[in-house]
């Protein structure tokens, strides 16, 4: 037995933790209602002690069938996943699972505002990257396309997210920019 | 140790199961993307065996901070909880937790389409009940209001959900009626 969290999980928790704090802040000022979904667990054995809470004694992590975050922002359905990479010049697409891409594809079709939040841990940089562009890159892998998205491409088609105090990660400012871009450039970003 | 599910849980799983099947169907025909959120679990001990999957050895159920279901339907953010009662003439408000009502209140403010799906198990009847009306009833408890919502009130202000084969519970047909009602009656239902 070991403490929760490999170094990968710890890195993941940092971005996740900052997003959770930001979401708490957004909720507290009525700006948006966005939550991280709990990790899905397959329960196998549960104890029900007489006078205390049920205890899970055997369970396994399941692969989520959706992205981690969703909610509502001023009438817009918001859906995204958060990913970190230690790479310095590109984001490897293998950080996504096929089912997450399919989920984003379905949400886009329904008119959702969908994206990835990508952190380059070694650069200390965070970007909102539109799901439409992510899906393009994903699909092009099959026809000889790159297995990663260049940082320069992310800087061109995405939106930087500033680090701050309150909220820690003001990603809704980047969503505002995405909404403006969709309004002006339309289908390419939708 | 006992098998998962008291009779209450079993009843809960039935409505939940039917909703999950309906959501799968809606997804398969590109009508909506709506999922049940996983139950939140507080992990305490996790084993990481060398060559196999991580095993949760001690964990506890946490109270969810939101409702169970959300997603997107033709551009609308959808948020609801599903509740069952064995009562025959009213729905007891104690089936809701304060934090769920607060969550619905926040989502309504952002422009979400929010409601409860209420099953009267002993009557074999299912209703969509708008969150605006639910919140009214909830708030009126403090000023001498009823601790339950009468079935007749639910029939007046809510929308019946038909049982079928595909989808099992066509609750989006009831959502369509709610959307029409919001369009015509406005703020009262929003
Ligand atoms: Mg993730
Ligand atoms: Mg529930």
Split at pLDDT 50, 70, 90, the class of A51 is confident
Instruction: Give the pLDDT confidence of B59-113 residue by residue, as tens digits.
Output: 999 988 899 999 999 999 999 999 999 999 999 999 999 999 999 999 999 999 9
Place of tokens 């320069």: A152
Question: Residue A156 phi/psi, 5° resolution?
Answer: -75, -50
Instruction: Give the pLDDT confidence of B4-26 residue by residue, as tens digits.
Output: 444 444 444 589 999 999 999 99
Angle at B18 between CA B13 and CA B23, to 5 degrees: 120
Q: Which of these, A36, A35, A20, A97, lies nearest to A65 by C-alpha position?
A: A97
CATH architecture designation of domain B7-38+64-188: 3-Layer(aba) Sandwich (3.40)
Q: Helix (H, G, I), strand (E, B), or coil: what is residue A189?
A: coil
CA distance A64 to A40: 6
Instruction: Give distance in angstroms: CA of B153 to centre of ligand 1.
Output: 43
What is the rounded average pLDDT of the residues A79-93?
97
Question: Residue B145 phi/psi, 5° resolution?
Answer: -75, 170
Please report which ligand is nearest the Cα atom of A118.
1
> What's the pLDDT score for residue B190?
64
What is the rounded average pLDDT of the residues A149-153?
98
Split at pLDDT 50, 70, 90, the class of A101 is very high
Closest-CA distance, B139 to chain A, in angstroms, reads: 20
Rounded (to 5) percent helix, strand, coil in chain A: 40, 30, 30
Q: Is the dihedral of CA B90, B93, B96, B99 positive or negative?
A: positive
CB pairs under 8 A between A and B: 120
Which token pair is B189?
């239902």
Who among A37, A55, A111 is closest to B37 (CB)? A37
Q: Is the dihedral of CA B142, B146, B151, B155 positive or negative?
A: negative
- Map out the domains of chain A as residue ranges: 7-188
What is the rounded average pLDDT of the residues B129-133?
98
CB–CB contact B75 A110 (8 Å): yes
What is the rounded average pLDDT of the residues B43-55?
92
Instruction: Give distance in angstroms: CA of B39 to centre of ligand 2.
Output: 10
Q: Which of these, A37, A36, A20, lies nearest to A28 by C-alpha position?
A: A20
Instruction: Give the pLDDT confidence of B109-120 residue by residue, as tens digits.
Output: 999 999 999 999
Q: What is the DSSP string of B27-68?
A: HHTTS-EEEEPPPPEEEEEEE--TTS--EEEEEEE---SS-S
In this structure, the number of other CB atoms found within 10 A of the CB of residue B8 comes to 10
* Axis crossing angle, helix A171-185 with helix A7-28, rounded to the nearest 10: 80
CA distance A155 to A163: 16
Continuous H helices in chain A: 7-28, 98-109, 131-140, 151-157, 171-185
What is the rounded average pLDDT of the residues A17-39?
97
Please report which ligand is nearest the Cα atom of B8.
2
ipTM above threshold 0.85: yes
CA distance B89 to B144: 20
Report the CATH number of the A7-188 domain.
3.40.1350.10
Which token pair is A128?
């909102």
């Amino acid at each position: 037995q070991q403490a929760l969290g490999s170094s990968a999980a710890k890195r993941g928790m940092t971005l996740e933790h900052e997003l959770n704090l930001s979401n708490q802040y957004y909720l507290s000022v009525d700006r948006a209602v966005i939550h991280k979904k709990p990790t899905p667990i397959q329960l196998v054995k549960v104890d029900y002690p007489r006078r205390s809470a049920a205890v899970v004694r055997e369970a396994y992590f399941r692969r989520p069938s959706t992205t981690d975050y969703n909610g509502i922002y001023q009438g817009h359905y918001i859906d995204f996943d958060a990913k970190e990479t230690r790479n310095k010049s590109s984001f490897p697409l293998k950080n996504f699972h096929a089912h997450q891409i399919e989920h984003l594809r379905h949400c886009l079709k329904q008119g959702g505002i969908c994206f990835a939040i990508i952190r380059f841990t070694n650069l200390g940089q965070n970007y909102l990257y539109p799901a439409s562009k992510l899906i393009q890159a994903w699909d092009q892998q099959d026809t000889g396309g790159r297995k990663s998205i260049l940082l320069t491409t992310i800087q061109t088609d995405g939106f930087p997210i500033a680090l701050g105090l309150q909220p820690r990660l003001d990603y809704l400012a980047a969503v505002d920019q995405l909404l403006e871009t969709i309004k002006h450039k339309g289908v390419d970003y939708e």
